């Protein structure tokens, strides 16, 4: 399945991912420059992505502790999510996300 990722410099990359893991893991496996410092333990916000508004109902919105972590980001939007908290499922084929600057490994 495919995920379309916009990087902070506005370049767009389409990556092939497998269902079952977290979006963060799949973006890393695809070689994208995502910081993800805590490795998916939801202890930071360095895997921050913005979900394309057309996809937010399928992905869901941040809640609870995830929302608390995102509140510390200068790049938070109403469509922000931690990619470690999104499970890649078959219904997300074609998902569009934007890697936020606080998650970009340069």
Domain boundaries, the chain: 2-103
> Do residues 95 and 14 lie in contact, with contact meaning Cβ atoms separated by under 8 Å?
no
Write the pLDDT tens digit of every residue in 9-51. 999 999 999 999 999 999 999 999 999 999 999 999 999 999 9
> Going by CATH, does the domain composed of 2-103 fall within 3.30.300.30?
no
Query: How far is the C-alpha of 25 from the C-alpha of 47, rounded, in Å?
Result: 10
Write the pLDDT tens digit of every residue in 67-99. 999 999 999 999 999 999 999 999 999 999 999
Q: How far is CA 83 from CA 62, 87, 105, in A?
A: 10, 8, 15
């Amino acid at each position: 399945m495919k995920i379309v990722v916009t990087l902070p410099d506005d370049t767009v990359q389409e990556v092939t991912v497998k269902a079952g893991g977290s979006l963060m893991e799949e973006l890393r496996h695809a070689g994208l420059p995502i910081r993800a410092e805590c490795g998916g333990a939801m202890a930071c916000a360095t895997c921050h992505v913005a979900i394309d508004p057309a996809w937010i109902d399928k992905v869901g919105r941040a809640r609870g502790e995830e929302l608390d972590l995102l509140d510390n980001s200068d790049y938070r939007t109403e469509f922000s999510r931690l990619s470690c908290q999104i499970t890649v499922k078959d219904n997300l084929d074609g998902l569009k996300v934007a890697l936020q600057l606080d998650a970009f490994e340069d």
